Amino acid sequence: MVVDHAAAPEVLFGMDPMMVSTAILIFAYAFIISEKINRTIIALLGGALMIFMGVLNQDMAIKGVDFNTIALLTGMMVIVSITEKTGVFQYVAILSAKLVKANPRALLLVMGIITAVFSALLDNVTTVLLTVPITLLLTDQLKINPYPFLFVQIFASNIGGTATLIGDPPNIMIGSQVGLSFMDFVNNVGLPALVCLIFIMVFFDFFWGRKMVAAESARAAIMRYVPAEAIEDKGLLIKSLIVLALVLAGFILGHDHGLMPGTVALAGAALLMLLQCVGLNAEKQSHKVHESFQSVEWGTIFFFIGLFVLVYGVEVAGVLNLMATKLLDITNNDLFMASMVVLWSSAILSAIVDNIPFVATMIPLIKSTTAAFGGPDAVMPLWWSLSLGACLGGNGSLIGASANVMVAGFAERAGHRISFLKFMALAFPLMLVTIAISTIYVWWAFF
């Protein structure tokens, strides 16, 4: 994104635009971290302040919004919401439980793998929304503590989401801004994500799995479930799977033909809504379409819109150029050192704050270092370091990623409150191990 500093309006009262934009950003982040006010409200107010204070004009604010990211999120939310109605996700979870004969130790492993795979192919927030209720149901039936399962699913969702373009919002943002394809992510961060997944599953099996037991009567109750009964609409299931396959193919092949992921996702959503509405009268079609768009998390969508405007204001004011210069000074223009700073700082900070606003700030900062390091291709290690750090760093605390917050919410509603400090005491050190694995990978793969 080219920043037109000359087009910026005059800041009110003649104040320094760098000071004004930085103050707005800091206050916005402080309120987002505090969780006292909904983050969507804060992001929209912050973006509006950038305009009202004269840091941006309205045309510049629109230019700052990454509509590819918005389209990708909206399209995938519609596709997943329609697919969810078929019951296929519940089918997979119940079938998996039966395949391991409701053995808690094996079930811990299976639910972790299912969560990771779904997170890579859908996205991690959607995945936990679909799988955590099933986990709570199964652990309740088995009369075992759900905490280890929920902990594993948080880690697996963020690790699985690291591996692909669509798996985690930070990757969607990075991919859109840098022009990276689905396979670029698979080829460059898929391997460390797989290694990290293997590590945490082995660790959790040793730490929790080998000690798990369930009464035979409880296991027998699970074995009486009939997976096929979870499927509620076979016709819609076939249509949904066809569209999902086409969308994934579009993600993989579309980049070479100039198709952005957002275009593919919205086209897939439109096609699935069309297939869902075939043969229905106008009134029922309207109901189906309205129902599909009701399932979109509009709060999340507008959070992104406000955030993009907020960060673009800081970028236009020149704050990020200044920070990029400081980064180059600290690392002495050494690309490996810069990659390590990005990897570790993004991991630690993403554990403290939600990784989405952090990544939104880092993207233009890294772009500002491109010329100093020799062009777009030369700085690719920085992008992969940001992806690994932000996505895996989200595992460091309960507020590190949106998926974590979702799991904690489900658990609390089910009467199993997850303690912030108890979670962090184990999660943060484990997150640091996955970042150490990523450090070795970045050094081996790119230097």
pLDDT of residue 153: 96
Distance CA 349, CA 342 (A): 10
pLDDT of residue 264: 92
pLDDT(8) > 70: no
Which positions ≥6 away from 429 have C-beta within 8 Å?
A: none
Mean pLDDT of 436-440: 98
Instruction: Retrieve residue 210's tokens.
Output: 């080998």
With left for phi above 0 and alpha for psi between -120 and 50, is residue 397 left, alpha or beta?
beta
Residue 192: which of 159, 218, 223, 170 has the closest Cα? 159
pLDDT(33) > 80: no
pLDDT band at 9; cut points 50, 70, 90: low
Instruction: Retrieve residue 334's tokens.
Output: 């050494």
Q: Could you give the 3-state DSSP secondary structure of residue 367?
A: helix
Among positive and negative, which fits the CA dihedral 378, 383, 388, 389?
positive
Distance CA 142, CA 213 (A): 9
DSSP letter at 394?
Answer: G
Say how far residue 254 (Cα) sits from the centre of its chain.
21
pLDDT(2) > 50: no
CA-atom Rg of the chain in angstroms: 22
Q: What percent of the chain has pLDDT over 90?
A: 55
Distance CA 321, CA 369 (A): 8
The owner of tokens 């074995």 is: 223
Q: Note the pLDDT tens digit of each residue in 78-108.
A: 998 899 899 988 888 888 888 999 999 999 9
pLDDT of residue 238: 96
Q: Note the pLDDT tens digit of each residue in 106-162.
A: 999 999 999 999 999 887 887 887 888 889 888 988 899 999 999 999 999 999 999
Q: What percent of the chain has pLDDT over 70?
A: 97
* Cβ-contact 1, 177 below 8 angstroms: yes
Distance CA 350, CA 336 (A): 21
Distance CA 278, CA 240 (A): 14
* Cβ-contact 397, 352 below 8 angstroms: yes
- The secondary element (H helix, E strand) that includes residue 143 is none
More confident of the two residues 351 and 352:
351
Q: Note the pLDDT tens digit of each residue in 301-338.
A: 898 899 889 989 988 888 877 887 887 788 888 999 99
Helices (H) and strands (E) in the chain, counts: 22, 0
pLDDT of residue 45: 97
* Cβ-contact 446, 438 below 8 angstroms: no
Spell 84-104 as b/e; 16+ CB within 10 A means b.
bbbbbbbbbbbebbeebebbb
Q: Could you give the 3-state DSSP secondary structure of residue 2?
A: coil
More confident of the two residues 10 and 300:
300
Count CB atoms within 10 A of the CB of residue 300: 18
Mean pLDDT of 379-385: 97
More confident of the two residues 419 and 405:
419
Q: Note the pLDDT tens digit of each residue in 260-282.
A: 888 999 999 999 999 999 999 99
Which positions ≥6 away from 199 have C-beta within 8 Å?
A: 433, 434, 437
Q: Note the pLDDT tens digit of each residue in 208-247.
A: 999 999 989 989 988 988 989 989 999 999 999 999 999 9
On the CB side of 141, CA atoms within 13 Å amount to 22
pLDDT band at 6; cut points 50, 70, 90: very low
